[in-house]
Amino acid sequence: MSGRLEGKVALVTGAGNGMGEAISRLFAAEGAAVALTDMSPRGEEVAEEIRRAGGTAEFWQMNVTDEPGVEAVFAAVFERFGALNVLINNAGISGPTAAVEDVDLEDWKTVFTVNVGGPFLCTKHAIPYLRRTPGMTSIVNTSSIYGLIGNADVPIYHTTKGAVRMMSKTDAITYAPEGIRVNSVMPGTILTPLNLEKGKLLPGGVDAYLEKMRAEHPLGVIGDPEDVAYAMLYLASDESKFVTGTEIVVDGGYTAQ
């Protein structure tokens, strides 16, 4: 029995750890050739482990805010694999926890440049190769439950995720006539390095943050990166061929309350 992504080529940003790493490993296990990209060279370790497990993976070091670098990597990936079926825009940063009145403009710009500008640039430079790849293709963006609801703990980060959600919908409508689907995944609290770093900055540190978040989720647990990876897998696969311009919420019931 073939994998759910057999024969497809997927590029994943932020693939060196957390959700990006889980997505890359799952996609490779399901038959995709995976192009892992990350600013951290740890992405090469992940790619090597995927290859040792029998999967197909290559790593490119890439800063999603560097347009010439992004353009070069997408060209190299297409040259290496001869196709681009799936783009996963996952790379992101947390940013300051301060209220808006206390946030420096340069810090605001940095978070927006990474979290919104990154998916913009990667989508921009993926489109020509998605067009050249036969069949329906897919872009999946990592948004957040805070692209749906408000929260005061990391306000600039949350605002960027609202922008990513709307960008996904706009691009879905723009490229639907060409068979390019665009969706987003809205994770709740997931045990990733980014969330652990976020917890360190909040009152009480990581332990207090995790205890608080478990209590606020109806399922009483915090999600694993693999929980998000499986949602991404569905949206990347042909199983979701009639799904575009929408989102999957992976949050343990948090936003249902």
Chain segment 39-65, per-residue pLDDT in tens: 999 999 999 999 999 999 999 999 999
Cα 211–Cα 214–Cα 217 angle in degrees, nearest 5: 150
Identify the pLDDT of residue 213. Answer: 86
How far apart, in whole angstroms, are the C-alpha atoms of residue 13 and residue 86?
Answer: 11
Identify the pLDDT of residue 202. Answer: 78
- Give pTM, 2 decimals: 0.94
| CATH code for the domain defined by 9-190+224-248 | 3.40.50.720
CA dihedral 163, 164, 170, 173 (to 10 degrees): -160
230 in active site? no
Mind listing the pLDDT tens digit for each residue in 162-220? 999 999 999 999 999 999 999 999 999 898 887 787 788 778 888 898 888 899 999 99
Q: What is the CA radius of gyration of the chain?
A: 17
Least confident of 15-19, 112-116, 196-200: 196-200
Identify the pLDDT of residue 196. Answer: 82
Identify the pLDDT of residue 170. Answer: 98
Token reading at 171? 């691009």
Q: 115: pLDDT confidence band, cut at 50, 70 and 90?
A: very high
Kindly state the helix (H) or strand (E) to which residue 2 belongs, with its residue range: none
Cα 94–Cα 145–Cα 174 angle in degrees, nearest 5: 95
Instruction: Give me the DSSP letters along 58-89.
Output: EEEE--TT-HHHHHHHHHHHHHHHS---EEEE
Identify the pLDDT of residue 24. Answer: 98
Question: Which of 129, 146, 157, 175 is the catalytic position?
Answer: 157
Is 1 a residue whose pLDDT tops 70?
no
> Over the chain, what is the mean pLDDT?
95
The domain locations on the chain are 9-190+224-248
Is 153 a residue whose pLDDT tops 90?
no
Which three-class secondary structure state does DSSP give residue 174? helix
